[in-house]
Amino acid sequence: MSGIGAGRTRIDDPDLSELLEGIDSGRVALPNFQRDFDWSDSDVRALLATVLNGWPMGSLLLIDGDARSKDFYAPRAFEFAPSLQNVPETIVLDGQQRLTSLYTALYQKSDLVYAVSISDDVEWDQIDSIDAAMRTFHRRVWDVKYPSAPLQLSERLLPISALKSAGEFYAWRDATGASERETLRITELYRERLSGLHRFRVPALRIAPDMPPPAVARIFERVNKTGQRLGVFDLMVAKTFSPAFNLRDKWDRACVDYPRLARFYGDDGTAPLQLIAIRSIGDVRSSAVLKLSALAVQDGWDRAVSSLDAGLDFAERRLGVVHSEWLPYGSLAVILGALAWDVPLAETDSNLESWFWRSVFSGRYAVGSNTTAVSDFNLLRGGARFQAAFSIDRSVLLESTRRSNGALHRAWLCALAAEYVESRGASLREADLGARSVLRASGGVESAHLLSLGFCLTVNKEFPECGPFLDPPAIPTGQPESVTSFLDARARRLVARLSRVCESEVRLSEVEPSAEGPIG
């Protein structure tokens, strides 16, 4: 007797370019029940690096579109795509975030522009190096600084949109006016390393439109439940295993002994390994962790775990890092832990605080974060001071959102929490801290409720009365000029606080210190 799905599912491997073209033409759509696109800028860059490296991006769950699926799934267009005009040929049940990310990057549909560095120092056989080569720009910055192909090439930047097809790339190359030698270099780079994106194929399970909805729901549930990740930590568990040492068991024990580690990292014990790597190899990249010997891990594990917890304790008490989701860059916790390995972190180390705020608000970690992390660790370990003046770009700060500039958004939340602790003398562990916007979703400024500076700290889900920094200025009426004045006031208060805490001048500037690279 045939099963309920007999003949109603099949394995497919659609061409990525055709899927993205289908999104742009309305032939590929989403079911109405899918949540909105919510990947951050860094998520998109990581996916682009994965695809450029030719690695799998995971499978998709698709259903053929016709009148039956249209009635039940009420298809809608992908975010940033044109409105649907006809019944779509394909509805994407699982894979929205990945496809939207690639669509926005290749078709330049959002307010962000993605590019990849094509400088000679990129190691194209190393995923960490490709990760570091990815760049993101606000569109207005890109249009001002790199409006033409010759200017883009002069800065060794290739827009991801030029990789949409071979024709797009060669049109960009020819428009650069490059010398014969440079033309040969970038052509070889494209053929050997960058041409795979528009030929990428994605494994998919395709469902016939007459599949009963309960059966589709069961398939969807199983697809989402059974996906397994094999990460760096899993590989190191295998590499370091001996009858007397099981790294997975060691991490589970560490999470019991240091509950903060469990809260920040869950079941991923990579961070202590990064701490060992930065001290022994001078590198925090995944490739460096995988080079660690079993003996180095076994000898350094207990010290790494306790030191990492001490670093996170400092971050929580002095820097407002309440949740792992609020840490602007993961490597910052590794640096603090590596420093705590040598000496206890002082209760009031103004230099460490200055280093942290300077790093997260000036965009120092936006490009080459791994290299910057190693350099900072060595400088801090050697006693270098990080109390020189720095500037924060006013426009980037005012336009920041969790999705478009995640690191800066997280830095703002940390600043709120740090001020709360300082003004109240309270422990972050004593209250349920969170954040939400005081701006309305509707009004004179579109998506005002998403802007980072509109977020205020909440304590036990209520707004506290904690002084001029946390207490928002007069809540805007929704008119554009009112919202802008509100955001400007909060930006000025932030700068005043950072100047005091960092013991150096912090300025708001229209010249973007971080515009040369990713925005977080």
- What 3-state class would DSSP assign to 511? coil
Provide, rounded to the nearest whole percent, the portion of the chain with pLDDT above 90: 44
Interval 328-351: pLDDT, tens: 999 999 999 999 999 888 755 788
3 state SS of 371: helix
Contact assessment for residue 20 and residue 165, using Cβ atoms and an 8 Å cutoff? no
More confident residue, 511 or 171: 171
Q: Check whether 225 has a pLDDT greater than 80.
A: no
Secondary structure (H, E, C), 393-429: EHHHHHHCECCCCHHHHHHHHHHHHHHHHHHHCCCHH
Is pLDDT larger for residue 423 or for residue 259? 259
Contact between residue 40 and residue 187 where contact means Cβ atoms under 8 Å apart: no
| pLDDT value of residue 467 | 43
If pLDDT is split at 50, 70 and 90, which confidence band does 4 have?
very low
Find, among 66, 44, 72, the residue nearest to 57 by Cα: 44
* Mean of pLDDT values over 477-488: 76
Q: Is 506 helix (H, G, I), strand (E, B) or coil?
A: strand
Average pLDDT of the residues in 217-232:
60
Could you tell me the two tokens for 113? 């522009």
Asked if 341 contacts 307 with a C-beta cutoff of 8 angstroms, the reply is yes
What mean pLDDT comes out for the span 216-238?
67
* pLDDT of the residue at 463: 64
**pLDDT mean over 445-465:** 76
Is residue 472 scored above 90 in pLDDT?
A: no
Helical H segments across 146-179, by residue range: 149-154, 166-175
Which one of 49-53, 145-149, 224-228 scores highest in mean pLDDT?
145-149
Per-residue exposure over 204-220, b if at least 16 CB sit within 10 Å of its own CB, e if not? bbbbbbebeeeebeebb
Answer with the residue of higher pLDDT: 342 or 2: 342
Total Cβ atoms within 10 A of residue 417:
25
Please give the helix or strand (H or E) that residue 304 lies within, else none: helix 294-318
Please, what is the average pLDDT of the chain?
85
pLDDT at 430 over 60: no
Question: What's the confidence (pLDDT) of residue 349?
Answer: 73
Q: Would you state the pLDDT for residue 32? A: 79
Residue bearing the bigger pLDDT, 215 or 100 = 100
The string of pLDDT tens digits covering residues 360-416 is 998 888 777 888 899 999 999 998 988 888 999 888 898 888 887 889 999 999 998
Alpha helices in 176-210 (DSSP H): 180-189
Does the pTM exceed 0.85?
A: no
Rounded distance between C-alpha atoms, residue 267 and residue 453, angstroms: 32
In this prediction, residue 264 carries a pLDDT of 93
Convert the pLDDT of each residue in 14-57 to its tens digit. Answer: 999 999 999 999 999 998 777 788 888 888 998 999 898 888 88
